Amino acid sequence: MKIESELAQIGSLKEPVTGAVSFPVYQATAFRHPKLGESTGFDYARTKSPTRAVLEEAAAKLESGDAGFACSSGMAALQTIFAYFSQGDHLIVSLDLYGGTYRLLERIMSRFGVTASYVDTNDIDAMTSLLTPNTRAILIETPTNPLMMITDLERVCSWAKSKGLLTIVDNTLLTPYLQRPLELGADIVIHSATKYLGGHNDVLAGLIVTKGEALSQEMAILHNSIGAVLGPQDCWLLMRGMKTLALRMERHQFNATKLAEFLMEHEAIEDVYYPALPHHPGHDTQNRQSSGNTGIFSFRLKDARYVEPILRHIKLIAFAESLGGVESLMTYPAVQTHADIPEDIRQAIGVDDRLLRFSVGIEHIDDLIEDLDQAIAAAKRELEG
């Protein structure tokens, strides 16, 4: 089946007793054994639960992986993956990185002797220069958050394999509907499923998908041992959200493209960072390795003084920290999502005090353009009199 059908049918054929089209929420932590030495396949909910099993199977299939693991948040999924590594191990990581990932690496994993070097993951020479005998993996965001930097996945995955490294790809912004990194050579895919997969700003979740039997078995041990698993009600909410992923992503990218084009022509805007724009670095790579674009982009104002009044005057668009939901949200990365990244690093990569990030929802495009236009105009009136 095409991916649209796979998404719409998640769980619909998995309940044989009643034939329920919406797979039930099994709100149980313990399961009876038929007799000594026998199991129904479910013993204790941290290890495996019926509702979570359906979600995990669907996630693995959508990403062309061998096993899926549903976690209590995107950060819990990252922590589960990082637990695969040992004291002294070294990781190569995307330079333009979500602040929470940076915080986990630098404040938590560093205590256990896991180190990271940050680099433009398209620069093979730079990555090669960072290799040490203890380098174990490369962690890639593509597109990155918030500057939408694109990594050539097939090229970098091939390089990583030649060096004996695992490749971990954060696919949150594109989802398996638009990009499948495992098909391009990656070993692990991670999602903050809170975002586009859930899609409604109402469920906190993370997903891991692995390729290969040995890696999948090891991740299962980590998932069970750490125990940051997703509860059954949240699994059901996530599956419900994923059923409409194809429809939502089409509207997200349509709206985002129109808004990015609108801002490109606005006198108050200096730069727009969105892979669908022909001038965007990596535009051709993005078109080659994915079937579309995300619904998030960033833009840089000419004057930092515009930031506060714009965020105060938007009405339909909410000033809030997150992305990927049906409602449009605007965020100020320098003081919100990327506040944990040192200022000198933020400034060097371009996450400065003039940058705003826009998670475009599925509202009518005319209403979104009107709201953004009036907010910028109101800011101009306040500042220029």
Instruction: Please say if 373 is a catalytic residue.
Output: no
- Asked about 123 being catalytic, the answer comes back as no
Residue 372, C-beta contacts closer than 8 angstroms, at least 6 positions apart: 259, 262, 263, 314, 317
Q: Which helix (H) or strand (E) holds 68?
A: strand 67-71
Task: Identify whether 288 is a catalytic site residue.
Answer: no
Name the strands in the sheet holding 188-192, side by side, starting at the edge strand that comes first in the sequence.
Answer: 67-71, 206-210, 188-192, 166-170, 135-141, 90-94, 115-119
| Catalytic member of 14, 43, 46, 123 | 46
Provide the residue type at 348 as one letter. A
Residues in contact with 303: Cβ distance below 8 Å, sequence separation at least 6, in sequence order: 268, 354, 383
Residues in Cβ contact with 373 at an 8 Å cutoff, skipping those fewer than 6 apart: 262
Select which of 52, 84, 89, 98 is catalytic. Answer: 98
- Residue 366 dihedral angles phi and psi, to the nearest 5°: -65, -40
Catalytic, out of 195, 248, 300, 357:
195
> What is the CB neighbour count within 10 angstroms for residue 240?
18
Place of tokens 């199991």: 39
Q: What tokens appear for 265 in the block?
A: 């022509």
Candidate list 89, 170, 187, 234, residue with the active-site label: 170
Q: Catalytic annotation on 46?
A: yes
- The residues carrying an active-site annotation are 46, 98, 170, 195
